[in-house]
A = this chain, B = another copy of it.
Amino acid sequence: MTRVLIAEDQTMVLGALAALLALESDMEIVATAGDGLEALEVLEREPIDVLITDIEMPRLTGLDLAERLKEQAGAPAVIIVTTFGRPGYLRRALEAGVRGFLLKDAPAEKLADSVRRVARGERVIAPELALSAWDGGNPLTQRQRDVLRLAGEGLSTRDIGTRLHLAEGTVRNYLSEAIGALHAANRIEAFRLARQNGWL
């Protein structure tokens, strides 16, 4: 009997996924969690074989969760199930020792199948992403990311400078570099590209 924990912030999707796996006679849904912190609490008091988790959740994301578990002995095998196949996400997940990485676009049957594989020690990576993981890392430096993230919220150059304790010219420079690195035309496009690729 494989003991499963599911973490997902959209309650309806969480319930639906639980219903889906509950149909499998060799699995037991021990508990469900609405975010990463709840999942950690469950893990403290229950032995879990496989943790299925979304990435984008409040308080603690699935990636942060996986990174924390990597340190611990006796941690469960982790399967990430996400909407967004951003290369940066997959890369980070692999570095966190995640054993499965699936897209919500994949057929539903794939999930139970993946749980069994991962429980056996295998790895399961969404095939459409398997290649993209190694086409280079993040093209942005730390500062470029900082600045671009704030620009994406609609802050002006001046406000970004104030927030990061930088001169306006410096902020513009980082933005310009980021725009160049991403082959974008302006800060808006640069932000969209970086976001799409999980580089922020």
Contacts and interface: CB of A to CB of B under 8 A. Distances in A.
B16 A20 contact: yes
Interface residues of A, number: 40
Contact of A19 (B9, B19, B185): B19
Given A15-B20, A16-B20, A10 B154 contact: no
B192 A108 contact: no
Contacts of A152: 188
A171 interface: no
Contacts of A105: 9-12
Nearest to A10: B104
A154 B192 contact: yes
A135 interface: no
A179 to B, nearest CB: 10
Nearest to A23: B19
A109 B15 contact: yes
A183 to B, nearest CB: 11
11 contacts: A9-B105, A10-B83, A10-B104, A10-B105, A13-B104, A16-B108, A19-B108, A153-B189, A154-B186, A154-B189, A155-B189
Interface of A: 9-20, 23, 81, 83, 102-111, 151-156, 184-192
